[in-house]
Chains A and B, each alone.
Chain A
Amino acid sequence: MGLQAVRDVSLDLLGPDGVSDSGADLRSYSCDGLTGWRETPGLVVLPRTTRQVATIVSACARNGVPFVARGSGTGLSGGALPDAGGVLIVTARMRQIVSLSPEDRTAVVEPGVTNAAISAAAAPHGLYYAPDPSSQIVCSIGGNVAENSGGAHCLKYGFTTNHVLGMEVVLPDGTVTWLGGESWEAPGYDLRGVFIGSEGTLGIATKVAVRLLPIPESVSTLVADFPSPAAAGEAVTSIVAAGIVPAAVEMLDHLAIQACEAATNAGFTLTAGAALIVELDGPAADCEASFDLVRQHCTEAGATGIRVAADAVDRATIWRGRKAAFAAAGRLSPSYFVQDGVIPRTALGTVLERIAALAAEEGLRVANVFHAGDGNLHPLVLYDPAVEGQHGKADRLATRIVEICVQEGGSITGEHGVGVDKACSMPKMFTPDDLAAMRRVRDAFDPAGIANPGKVFPTPRLCGDRPGPYTPHPAEVAGLAERM
């Protein structure tokens, strides 16, 4: 059969060490960071080279076998959910930094290299890779490309798509090519831009050329307490109106503060209605002047207290407190859903009110953490699975929150991606014609539909199932990563 043929090719190519086809081995790959979705793959392969990936993908194409790429498995939308009758192609053994050019401020790396490893390699040259998802110690650059990942600093610096110049890819028919390159501009259509964020549905990236930035001269961070999220939102609006582009702006509401403080003792004020973290970076001369302005705007918006990070250690403590939010919600509730939606930042007040009203309707609590600069909202819907019916209510509430985001002119996902989890929400945001246009591009790359099938696009088979609640990713348990 098809899968058998791919297994034979893979065994020949990689040896027994690079191929898993037994029960327990296979099951350890059954989900990504969204553990409610599970499927045991038909076969797992661990190639080391582009040629090996291409040979395996060719075999898949010849035999009509679906394949799914997997980096570090930290995805939060089930993007790397395996196909029971297909091959899971894991990039964990493709971890070389191929080249790094300080003169060009670029590096070429294999897809399994972690996000943080790129910055570590660049650091001796005074450079770093800007996108910083909070999973950066574990997540792979290949996964970042597929998800167009961003981090706390994306307000100022942008996302993966703004920092990747090109990729070597294996297309779904096994062809190897480059989309973009190692230079700033490439003639022809920007296929790199389409591939980035396509969640593994257009092929597998086997090398990634990234831009590196000089490490900023200066960083300043403060935490301001406010009586309410709306007041904190006012502060952000006036900071932005003053022409300041902070490197990061994060907000925690009252409930989230309780959770983070209990988990980390980061020094947040427990009585505050909201905490705002503002970070500036860049030339020292600019930072100093703007930082004074930021303090002033916070005070004018009604801040009841301002704490300025004294040094790098203090700054790290504040960030640890903020980044603990997802995991720390476990201190408030036995179970919860983590939602990821985006709103125009100025709609914050309205949206929080609507969320609170919906939560009251369902008799549930919602803690909110918020990338306040760019409008990316992460409501944590708290519930007790032991209480009859609460799981269903929480699930419904989480879904309705995303619908509110769309109604307010926002998006169903700011960073976790669509995957299987939100494929059925895509029609909330896009018309059938919009989706058909995307599908035409998908079909151009992958007419047989074997690259990560069942992801991103809504399918009738999929759109009956429901996702699962928060469970910690092994990397979180090991203290290697936090969600934001």
Chain B
Amino acid sequence: MVRPCTAAEVAKLVKEAGAGGDVVEVVGGGTKGGWGLPSGTDAVTLSTSGLDQTFGHASADQTAVVGAGMRLGELQGRLSVKGQWLAVDPPDPTGGATLGGVFSADDAGPRRMRYGTMRDLVIGATFVLADGTVAHTGGKVIKNVAGFDLAKLLCGSLGTLAVVTELVVRLHPLPEASRTLRCAAPAGQVPELAFALARCPAEASAVEWMDGELYVRVEGGAAGLQKRVDQLAATLGAMLEADGTGRRAVDPVSGRDETALWDAVASARRPSRPPLSCRVVTRPRQFSDFHHWATVAADEAGAGLSVTSDPCIGVHDVRFTGPLDPALDALARLRRSLAGIGGTAVVRAVPRSVEGAVVWGPPPAAAAVMATVKRALDPGSTFAPGRFSPWW
């Protein structure tokens, strides 16, 4: 394990590794080991934990320059002093995730509905290519269209293109107040509820469905919050009643209970839970199809099923429980059904014995171009070769 503290040190290490034909695996907090395929046991592990010193908070400009190795929790703590935050809430139950890791995985939580993901919040990056080139993309200002936006390419690339050493992020004010509405909602009713919530003028910042319960978060200025809560509660109430199964309660949750509720959601979404978790993406209106197929797949394969979903944006985390073989069978069945509607399923936690084709599923249309881009930036395949295998 090597632990460089500056971009120059990273450059030196990476160049040496590349020259010696070594493979480099970049690790931040090590919380996403199951995302993509591992690089093999002889890889040099490059820890970014030493790249955690840089911190420049331009609070009046709502931006910050941050070392990629800084832990997300640490960063949020520092920003909160000035009433701001980096508006991402990925599941991070151990508090180990680093900024660079969350960026490289483009991991996000429920509030992406309102704020987007790291992809939308990073405005500049410094990175080191396999040949030791230290390069920058973007800048320090939110509005900027000069040159290619290479930060987008690095975001979600799982450490396969470069070592990200520093990021410039745009920030948001910490919401003054927050409330979450909670109600029971059968899967069959989720699409219409999601449709109404996504368009409700009260602007929910997260809508999450987890095994039969729906959570709707609203946040912002304290003065207007109650009215917005009422508006959302009325929207939900009307639809739940129209369901015909009788009146169901819509409970407002706040304070510590609210924090606990979202912690529970995060821990359910934590992708490292055995035996097999995967990220399924469909269009929002395909929720019913998705849920039906996931249920059928689990039943037919004899696997258990747990679903956590952002129904307003069509992003679902599926966990098949029980022994591994039925879980893999359920995944294969679900994939076959999703193929017809252009949905995707990518495995995010699976025992290392499983092949790449099972992890990634069918390749995206532009896989060949992605492979060319990988070769262009990392011609010697120094960074995590095979992580996206068999795609490239």
The distance from the CB of A246 to the nearest CB of chain B, in whole angstroms, is 12
Chain B positions 139 through 170: 1 when the CB is less than 8 Å from some CB of chain A, otherwise 0: 11111111111111101110001000000000
Interface 0/1 of B199-223, CB less than 8 Å to A:
1111100000000000000001101
Q: Is A193 an interface residue (CB 8 A)?
A: yes
Contacts A240-B62, A282-B203, A342-B143; A191 near B370 (Cβ below 8 A): yes
Contact present for A437 and B377 (CB under 8 Å) = yes
**Could you tell me which residues of chain B, from 189 to 207, have a CB within 8 Å of some CB in chain A?**
191, 195, 198-203
Provide the bound-state CA to CA distance between A101 and B285, in Å. Answer: 9
Is A217 in contact with chain B by the CB < 8 A criterion?
Answer: yes
Give 1 or 0 for each of A171-208: 1 = CB within 8 Å of chain B CB: 10000011101111111111111101110000000000
Binary interface encoding of chain B residues 308-348 relative to chain A, with 1 for a CB under 8 A from any of its CBs, else 0: 00000111000000000000000000000000001110100
Once the chains are docked, how many angstroms separate the CA of A299 from the CA of B173? Answer: 22
A150 proximity list for chain B (CB < 8 A): 143
C-alpha gap A251/B51 in the complex (Å): 39
Bound Cα distance from A104 to B281, whole angstroms: 13
A471 partner residues in chain B, CB cutoff 8 A: none
> A residues within 8 A CB of B391?
188
Contacts of A101 on B, CB cut-off 8 Å? 283, 285
Return the chain B residue nearest A430 by Cβ: B147
Q: Are A214 and B199 in contact (CB under 8 A)?
A: yes
Whether B153 and A411, one on each chain, are in contact in the complex, defined by CB atoms closer than 8 angstroms, is: no
Q: A186–B281 contact, CB under 8 A? A: yes
Q: Report whether A184 and B152 are in contact in the complex, using a CB–CB cutoff of 8 Å.
A: no
A125 and B67 alpha carbons, distance in the complex (Å): 44
Once the chains bind, are B153 and A371 in contact (CB under 8 Å)? Answer: no
Contact check, A105 vs B284: say whether CB atoms are below 8 A apart: yes
User: A441 to chain B: which residues have CB within 8 Å?
Assistant: 148, 150, 153, 373, 376-377
Interface residues on B, range: 35 or more
Bound state CA distance, A193 and B58, in angstroms? Answer: 26
Question: Does A289 reach chain B (CB closer than 8 Å)?
Answer: yes
Q: Are A182 and B143 in contact (CB under 8 A)?
A: no
Complex interface: chain B residues within 8 A of A148 (CB): 145, 149
Contact in complex: A189, B153 (CB < 8 Å): yes
Partner of A413 from B144, B346, B363, B369 at Cβ < 8 Å: B144
The answer to whether B172 has its CB under 8 Å from any CB of chain A is: yes
What is the number of residues of chain A that contact chain B, defined by CB distance less than 8 Å? 93
A436–B83 touching, CB < 8 Å: no
Interface residue? A2 (CB, 8 A): no
Inter-chain CA distance A184–B366, complex, in Å, is 17
Determine whether the beta carbon of B146 is less than 8 Å from that of A191: no
Quick check: is B81 within 8 A (CB to CB) of the other chain? no
Are A283 and B202 interface neighbours, CB within 8 A?
A: yes
In the complex, what residue of chain A is closest to B157 when comparing beta carbons? Answer: A189
A365 contacts partner chain B, Cβ-Cβ < 8 Å: no
Q: Are B83 and A243 in contact (CB under 8 A)?
A: yes
Contacting pair B143 A376 (CB below 8 A) = yes
Contact A178 B366 (CB under 8 A): yes
- The 8 Å CB contact of B149, one of A178, A197, A426, A445, is A197
Residues of chain A within 8 A (CB-CB) of B172 are 245
Instruction: Mark interface residues in B101-117 (1 if CB within 8 Å of A CB, else 0).
Output: 00000100000000010
Asked if A434 lies at the interface with its beta carbon under 8 angstroms from chain B, I say yes
Q: How far is the CB of A82 from chain B (nearest CB, A)?
A: 22
Bound CA–CA A223/B56 (angstroms): 33
A342: chain B residues within 8 A (beta carbon)? 139, 141, 143-144
* Complex: A285 Cα to B376 Cα, angstroms: 51
- Quick one: which of B60, B119, B173 contacts A190, CB cutoff 8 A? B119
Does B174 make an interface contact (CB < 8 A)?
Answer: yes
Residue B133 lies at the interface, judged by CB distance under 8 Å to chain A: yes
B201→A237 contact, CB < 8 A: no
Within 8 A of B (CB), among A425-442: 426, 429-431, 433-438, 440-442
**A193 pairs with B153, CB closer than 8 A:** yes
CB under 8 Å from chain B, chain A span 141-183: 147-148, 150, 154-155, 158-159, 161-162, 171, 177-179, 181-183
- Bound together, the chains give a CA A182 to CA B152 distance in angstroms of 18
- Given A150-B143, A214-B201, A283-B203, decide whether A177 and B284 contact each other with a Cβ distance below 8 A: no
Chain B residues numbered 278-308 whose CB sits less than 8 Å from any CB in chain A: 279, 281-285
* Chain A residues, Cβ within 8 Å of B315: 184-185
A474 proximal to B (CB < 8 A): no
Whether a CB of chain B sits under 8 angstroms from the CB of A346 is yes
Q: Which residue of A lies closest to B375 (CB)?
A: A444
Question: Does B135 reach chain A (CB closer than 8 Å)?
Answer: yes
| B234 touches A (CB below 8 Å) | no
Q: Is B228 interfacial (CB 8 A cutoff)?
A: yes
A126 pairs with B365, CB closer than 8 A: no
**Chain A contacts for B148, CB-based, 8 A:** 194, 197-198, 438, 441-442, 456
Interface contact A187-B147, CB-CB below 8 Å: no
Who on chain A is nearest to B224 by CB?
Answer: A285
B194 vs chain A, min Cβ distance (A): 9
Give A148 to B364 CA distance when docked, in angstroms: 24
Q: For the complex, is B63 an interface residue (Cβ under 8 Å from A)?
A: yes
Contact: B61 with A177, CB < 8 Å? no
Interface residue? B176 (CB, 8 A): yes
Q: Are A411 and B116 in contact (CB under 8 A)?
A: no
Chain B: CB-nearest residue to A183:
B281
B388 to chain A, nearest CB (A): 7
Cβ of A362 < 8 Å from any Cβ of B? no
Evaluate contact between A186 and B144: CB separation under 8 angstroms: no
Within 8 A of B (CB), among A206-237: 214, 216-218, 237
Q: Which residues of A contact B156 (CB under 8 A)?
A: 189-190
Pair A188/B370 contact, Cβ less than 8 Å: yes
Q: Does B383 contact A (CB under 8 A)?
A: no
Q: Are B224 and A196 in contact (CB under 8 A)?
A: no
Given contacts A182-B342, A183-B283, A434-B136, contact A104 B314 (CB under 8 A): yes
What 0/1 pattern do residues 360 to 404 of A give for CB contact below 8 A with B?
A: 000000000001001110000000000000000000000000000
Q: Is the CB of B377 within 8 A of A243?
A: no
Q: Quick one: given A126-B199, A184-B315, A440-B377, are A179 and B150 in contact (CB under 8 Å)?
A: no
Q: Is A254 an interface residue (CB 8 A)?
A: no
Q: Of B137, B221, B343, B366, which is within 8 A of A179 by CB?
A: B366
| Contact of A66 with B by CB under 8 A | no
Write out the residue numbers on chain B whose beta carbons fall within 8 Å of the beta carbon of A456.
147-148
**Which of B106, B137, B201, B284 lies at the interface centre, i.e. has the most chain A CB atoms within 10 A of its CB?**
B201
Task: Specify which of A191, A218, A375 is in contact with B142 (CB 8 Å cutoff).
Answer: A375
Q: Which residue of B lies closest to A217 (CB)?
A: B201
Does A193 lie within 8 Å of B119, measured CB to CB? yes
A184 CB → nearest B CB, Å: 4
A437-B137 contact in complex given A217-B201, A342-B144, C-beta closer than 8 Å: yes
Nearest residue (CB) in A for B149 is: A197
Write 12 A-B pairs (CB below 8 A) sorted by A numbering. A126-B199, A147-B145, A150-B143, A159-B145, A179-B369, A183-B314, A187-B346, A188-B391, A243-B176, A342-B143, A411-B141, A433-B134
Interface residues of A (CB under 8 A from B): 101, 103-106, 126-127, 147-148, 150, 154-155, 158-159, 161-162, 171, 177-179, 181-194, 196-198, 214, 216-218, 237, 240-241, 243-245, 282-290, 342-346, 371, 374-376, 409-418, 422, 426, 429-431, 433-438, 440-445, 456
5 more contacts with CB within 8 A, not counting A194-B148, A433-B133, are A193-B151, A197-B148, A288-B223, A375-B61, A430-B147
A-binding residues in B (CB < 8 A): 58-63, 83, 106, 116, 119-120, 129, 133-137, 139-153, 155-157, 161, 172-174, 176, 191, 195, 198-203, 220-221, 223-228, 231, 279, 281-285, 313-315, 342-344, 346, 360-361, 363-367, 369-370, 372-377, 388, 391
